Amino acid sequence: MYETEIPRPFLRKILQILNKKRIIRSYKGKNGGFMLSKNLNNICIADIIKVFQGTISLSEHVFKKGKCPRIQRCNLKKRLDKIEAMVREELNAITVASLMN
């Protein structure tokens, strides 16, 4: 365990996933390790969320047996889509650099 109290195998898995998605780069050898693939100002929280959770979505508007048949005319869906767009915009505005201050 480290200061973050994340078990080493779990941390290794997280780093492997981030490396595969090109958020970080791995370097082998005596002086190896991991490094961010971009500048801290160019990595947003939305990018990291997408790596682990997929597309940011508040509602797929699905019922027990499939999508809502009124999805094109649904007022709730229209409002949820607006909220989802605002959430995405805010998450795209939060960079790793902004969290380090």
Phi, psi for residue 33 in degrees, rounded to 5: 155, -150
pLDDT value for 63: 65
Is residue 1 over pLDDT 50? no
Measured distance CA(24)–CA(83) in Å, rounded: 30
Provide the whole-model pTM: 0.72
Contact 20, 39 (CB under 8 A): no
Given the structure tokens 């969320």, which residue do they identify? 49
Is residue 72 over pLDDT 50? yes
Contact 52, 7 (CB under 8 A): no
Q: Name the β-bridge partners of 35.
A: 25
Longest Cα–Cα distance of the chain, Å, equals 60
Q: What is the pLDDT of residues 3-47, one digit of tens each?
A: 778 888 998 899 999 999 999 999 898 888 889 899 999 999 999
pLDDT value for 22: 92
Contact 87, 44 (CB under 8 A): no
Delimit the domains of the chain by residue range.
1-37, 40-101
Phi, psi for residue 67 in degrees, rounded to 5: -70, 150
Is residue 95 over pLDDT 90? yes
